[in-house]
Amino acid sequence: MRFSSYWLETAEPFVGNAPDLHDGRCDVVVVGGGITGSAAALALAKKGARVVVCEAGTVGQAASGRNGGMCNNGFAQDYASLSQRIGVELANRLYLAFDAGVDTVERLVREESIDCDFVRRGKLKLAAKPEHFDKLARSQALLAAGVDPDTRLVTKAELRDEIGSDRYHGGLIFEKSAGMHVGRYVRGLATAAQARGAQILEHAPVLDLRRESGDAYVARTPRGEIRAPQVLLASGISQLGPFGWIRRRIVPVGAFIIVTEPLPTQRLDQLLPTRRMATDTKNFVNFFRVTPDNRILFGGRARFAASNPRSDEKSGMILRQQMIAVFPELADARIDYCWGGMVDMTANRLPRAGERDGMYYSMGYSGHGTHMATLMGTLMAEIMDGRADLNPWKDFDWPAIPGHFGKPWFLPFVGAWYRLKDTLQ
């Protein structure tokens, strides 16, 4: 078993062609070389901007290359509850932004010829308890009537056509959702941006960022200083650099994944015959899918803890037990990969994007990063060009989380609370 991301291990490395800074000046400095930063660099370069991307490690090595490779439209939370809280009109507008994110991924994959196995298989949201199916039914009725007629319910009796497990009590299908090889995708985006003239610097964390007289910013990196009139922060959960304002507003939550050995097609046809992306309704969520080379990827929170080698190994053992509980047929399946990553969660699990003190930012995707990062990276090129009206999140404030100063000391208590809710609800 390899304690590394399956996606990054099975994708060609990004090959940069700019080992050194030119004159240290550009139009935009992008902090972060994940999906947001790479998509923004591509869109900005297409507009003729001189762009320098500063990535602390390697392209896609953080959340962008350590997720489930799912482009799932729809909200993480219950649609009916969210629309009641923020209003149907706003909820529907945001829902369509998630749809647009999947569309944007599909368009860029086609336009840039990114070989990443993008396929719209759909998403199956599974009711972990009987009462959860009632909530899915309420949401589906509202979705079908107002914003997404391409959703449908699957009763418990019908569920065998979708999944070879008796663990669940029905489900809700979102037909627009997709899956892809996210390692190839993020590195393909970065390669496309570089081909358009963007300069992408790996191993170049921004250690200091200050505003000089006038409108120029100076970013200090181990590879030199960069001056630019505009800055885009696309680094989400990074603990590096002078970004304390961001860290007080984002909670980095560990998400963990295991991937089996390649499995026979016949067995996969029994377990996931439609090959949809699947997720359940628990707070300690599980999600799973078939990879492009016929493995089962199975992930979830497992533990409310940070990702590190010891934590990943413990979480992998928990996930294997959970996977076998869903699919007993996999008790003898070898686990080839196990890894963890950090999800940048906001308090209400909705993204944030905008401008503060002349610097732009987009992050907080809360588990929906593959397509929302693509959409927002692309939109930020327009927003930074004066089109603030295109920002779906422009009307949301972003207060600091009380008691949070960058290190999520409270995660074990949050985990205990969610476990209790899963037991009681």
**pLDDT value of position 151:** 97
**pLDDT value of position 415:** 60
| CA dihedral of residues 93, 94, 100, 104 (deg, nearest 10) | 140
The yes-or-no verdict on residue 282 having pLDDT over 60 is yes
Q: Which residue has the tokens 């962008």?
A: 64
Weakest-pLDDT range from 7-16, 161-170, 256-265, 343-352: 343-352
**pLDDT value of position 255:** 87
Parse the chain into domains and list their residue ranges. Answer: 6-113+122-414
**pLDDT value of position 304:** 60
Tell me the mean pLDDT in the region 385-394: 96
Rg (CA), the chain: 21
- 3-class secondary structure, 289: strand
More confident residue, 215 or 416: 215
Q: Tell me the pLDDT band of 301, cut-offs 50, 70 and 90.
A: confident
Tell me the mean pLDDT in the region 59-65: 94
Q: Which residue has the tokens 């009462």?
A: 131
Tell me the mean pLDDT in the region 105-113: 98
Phi and psi angles of residue 341, each rounded to the nearest 5 degrees, phi first: -155, 170
**pLDDT value of position 129:** 95
Question: Across the chain, what does the average pLDDT equal?
Answer: 92
**pLDDT value of position 22:** 63
Q: In CATH, which superfamily holds the domain spanning 6-113+122-414?
A: FAD/NAD(P)-binding domain (3.50.50.60)
More confident residue, 109 or 344: 109
**pLDDT value of position 330:** 98
- 3-class secondary structure, 314: helix
Weakest-pLDDT range from 88-92, 325-329, 399-403: 399-403
* Residue 253 near residue 345 (C-beta atoms within 8 A): yes
**pLDDT value of position 416:** 62
Q: Tell me the pLDDT band of 421, cut-offs 50, 70 and 90.
A: low
**pLDDT value of position 410:** 63
The yes-or-no verdict on residue 302 having pLDDT over 60 is no
CA angle 106, 109, 114 (to 5 degrees): 155
**pLDDT value of position 413:** 58
Q: Give the global pTM.
A: 0.94
Q: Tell me the pLDDT band of 123, cut-offs 50, 70 and 90.
A: very high
**pLDDT value of position 256:** 94
pLDDT for 131-173, tens place per residue?
999 999 999 999 999 999 999 999 999 999 999 999 999 999 9
**pLDDT value of position 17:** 82
The yes-or-no verdict on residue 122 having pLDDT over 90 is yes
More confident residue, 237 or 252: 252
pLDDT for 39-58, tens place per residue?
999 999 999 999 999 999 99
* Residue 95 near residue 74 (C-beta atoms within 8 A): yes
**pLDDT value of position 422:** 64
Cα–Cα separations (whole angstroms), residue 212 to 23, 28, 240, 245, 278: 17, 15, 21, 20, 49
* Residue 414 near residue 422 (C-beta atoms within 8 A): no
Share of the chain above pLDDT 90, in %: 76
Tell me the mean pLDDT in the region 84-91: 95
